[in-house]
Chain A
Amino acid sequence: KQEVTQIPAALSVPEGENLVLNCSFTDSAIYNLQWFRQDPGKGLTSLLLIQSSQREQTSGRLNASLDKSSGRSTLYIAASQPGDSATYLCAVRDNYGQNFVFGPGTRLSVLP
């Protein structure tokens, strides 16, 4: 059974710092991996989707990498801003089902 973990559980940084969020998954037979953002009391917003054949995806200040063989993905946020404060979730879609398996999330606070 696929399990997804995220480290750290929570992170607090001053504005302007570059930071890295980590995601690990136990079964490397994945179809794709997606990073989401969740604001308090809100649904999930898709940030980046990486197919299993890809190594990374970039959108603005965000860069996500995927190392399928080692079961890891990182989300890099450059020049963090207070508006980046949210919970960041990674989710994998494996080859066995249509649903995503989610990690518990990293709660990020960017201090002005």
Chain B
Amino acid sequence: GAGVSQTPSNKVTEKGKYVELRCDPISGHTALYWYRQSLGQGPEFLIYFQGTGAADDSGLPNDRFFAVRPEGSVSTLKIQRTERGDSAVYLCASSSSGTWGETQYFGPGTRLLVL
């Protein structure tokens, strides 16, 4: 596609529920990143994929968070037993090959609200 797309754009859920957030990167981009942005803050890194594998998941806050990218394109961020503190905008980015000098292209984000 022309850019990174994310669905849904907004998600409201209740505490304790399970949610899935989807990211569709730019076609052909092998590197994919998930970030979380709380109100008034800059994005915080969650996880980085190179192809199908998670090359760096050091930013995942706890084991309720999990992400997959089974075919090396679309990625899904999964949050179990959601908590009110999980409310944030979840941003996805992709880059061509993940090499050091590249820029990352960001999607519009999914705004998650946990009631």
Contact = CB atoms under 8 A, between A and B. Distances in A.
Interface of A: 4, 31-32, 34, 36, 41-46, 49, 51, 89, 91, 93, 97-105
Contact of B108 (A32, A43, A89): A43
Given A99-B45, A104-B42, A44 B101 contact: no
Given A51-B101, A99-B33, 14 more contacts: A31-B100, A34-B103, A89-B43, A97-B45, A98-B48, A98-B98, A99-B45, A99-B48, A99-B56, A99-B59, A100-B104, A102-B35, A102-B44, A104-B42
A4 B100 contact: no
Interface residues of B, number: 29
Contacts of B41: 104-105
8 contacts: A31-B101, A41-B108, A43-B4, A44-B43, A44-B91, A98-B48, A99-B35, A99-B56
A14 to B, nearest CB: 25
Contact of A91 (B40, B42, B58): B42
A98 B34 CA distance: 12
B109 interface: yes
Nearest to A101: B45
Nearest first, the 4 closest Cβ-Cβ pairs linking A and B are: A102-B42, A99-B45, A44-B106, A43-B106
Given A43-B109, A104-B40, A32 B100 contact: yes
A89 B37 CA distance: 12
A60 to B, nearest CB: 17
